[in-house]
Amino acid sequence: MSAKDGASILVVDDEDHNRALLRAMLGGQHRVLEAANGPAALEVLVAEQVDLVLLDVMMPGMSGYDVCQKIKQRTGEAFLPVLLVTALSEQEQKNLGLQAGADDFLTKPVDRRELLLRVRAFLRLRSQDALIRLQLKQLAQLQNTKDEMLSLMVHDLRSPLAGIVSHLSLIIEDAPEGHLREDAQAALRSADGMRDSLEEALQIRLLEEGQLPIARAPVDLKALVRDAAATLEPTARRKRIQLSTAMDGEPIASVDGKLVRRAIENLLGNALKYTPAGKDVSVAVRHRDGTVEIEVSDRGPGIPAELKATMFEKYGSVEAKKGGPRKGFGLGLYMVKLVADGHGGVAHVLDRDGGGAVFSMRLRSAA
């Protein structure tokens, strides 16, 4: 490898002969840049592409520790290895270097083979860091493309679905009692469910982009929970699940009623989905000291401890993570998290006494 093709290494030392020695060791394989003091080194970093820094510690004015700290404090920069070159051997001096952000040390007099081996190792780390950054950027672009496609699909499906709902409603109005009317009602329920899913996907996208602001207004929490539970009551009856609600504390809170109700419905739908027939599901709301806590408790199989921290991530269903069949798109709990975040709160899951899980959403009320 020629110096022209090699990495650029910045040698910083106030002694000419020390810089000349390191240049001679490296010059055949790498492009060597030089600086006689700390300020000059920082100027080189602004003007040149540097892949590694060999930095003397004992320099007048700005010490090597100070220069190292300045280098490591640069924001938005790729990983730039800094190796301190020092005659100091005391542990306290090394600790100061590590505290300043140094990646490694070379002791004077520098052994050429050790120098080349350490330089090669850290250049490899820098290369790997660059590759990871590139891959993360590409993943972010793919994610953005996928989200844009999802938004377009939702937008294009809403209008024809609204037409289907309208026509089914007209059929039900005119249809006599019997199988035809029952089939139309079942189709309407399915269409309504699909419309709700599309609206939820759109709301999630808008929340992620900050285009759906939290519209706070005084809300009757008891009525909010009652209405949300009423939406899922048919499902509870069909599975013979006892669905109960409870309210404690101040009845009025300043929250986004529509989004909070949607989040409660998501939690309830999830609870009813996994609770066996004949068991119970409960919704408890507490509002005290400007904090609203909503807990939905089920009697399902529970959440494994290793998955609790990631349950509210996007597409974070337990079935998918355990390798089982996916029974949903993993967006419901993610929306709960976004709603909680938007209210300055948090969402989490705990074990329920006697079996099951408790999904909790804590919100800050402006009231």
What is the tens place of the pLDDT at every residue in 83-97?
999 887 678 888 888
Task: Looking at the structure, tell me whether residues 221 and 192 fall in a common domain.
Answer: no
Q: Give me the domain span that covers residue 163.
A: 140-209
CA distance 344 to 254: 12
What's 198's domain CATH number?
A: 1.20.58
Which of 77, 79, 36, 73 shows the shortest CA–CA distance to 55? 36
Same domain, residue pair 230 and 352: yes
Number of domains in the chain: 3
Distance, CA of 46 to chain centre: 32
Rounded distance between C-alpha atoms, residue 30 and residue 165, angstroms: 70
Residues 6+ apart with CB under 8 A from 14: 36, 37, 56, 59, 60
Interval 166-211: pLDDT, tens: 888 888 888 888 888 888 888 888 888 787 777 767 777 767 766 6
Task: Please indicate, yes or no, whether the overall pTM of this predicted structure exceeds 0.75.
Answer: no
Rounded to whole angstroms, how far apart are CA atoms 231 and 262?
Answer: 10
Note whether 175 and 304 are same-domain residues: no
313 falls within a domain = yes
In this structure, how many other beta carbons lie within 10 angstroms of the beta carbon of residue 31?
19
Supply φ then ψ for residue 307, to 5 degrees.
-105, -10
When pLDDT is cut at 50, 70 and 90, the band that residue 328 belongs to is very low
Strand partners, 107: 86
> Are 205 and 222 members of one domain?
no
132, part of any domain: no
Q: What band does 316 get if pLDDT is binned at 50, 70 and 90?
A: low
Q: How far is CA 47 from the centre of its chain?
A: 35
> pLDDT digits over 112-170, tens only?
999 999 999 999 999 999 999 999 989 888 877 777 776 677 767 777 887 888 888 88
Q: How far apart are CA 282 and CA 322, in angstroms?
A: 27
- What is the C-alpha R_g of the chain? 31
| Residue 118 located in a structural domain | no
Clarify whether residues 194 and 231 are in a common domain: no
Question: 330 pLDDT band (50/70/90 cuts)?
Answer: low
Per-residue pLDDT band for 223 (boundaries 50, 70, 90) equals: very high
Based on the fold, state whether residues 229 and 359 are members of the same structural domain. yes
Question: For the chain, first and last CA: distance in Å?
Answer: 69
Overall residue count recorded for the chain in this entry = 367
Rounded CA gap, 236 and 241, in Å?
Answer: 5
Note the pLDDT of residue 315.
64
> Does residue 124 fall inside a structural domain?
no
Residue that is last in its domain, among 185, 209, 233: 209
Is-contact 280 334, C-beta < 8 A?
A: no
What CA dihedral angle connects 204, 207, 209 and 215, to 10 degrees? 150
From 339, 340, 304, 341, select the one nearest 323 (Cα to Cα): 304
Is 122 a member of any domain?
A: no
Going across the sheet that includes 280-288, the strands are 242-249, 280-288, 291-297, 357-364, 346-351
Taking residues 219-247, report their average pLDDT.
92
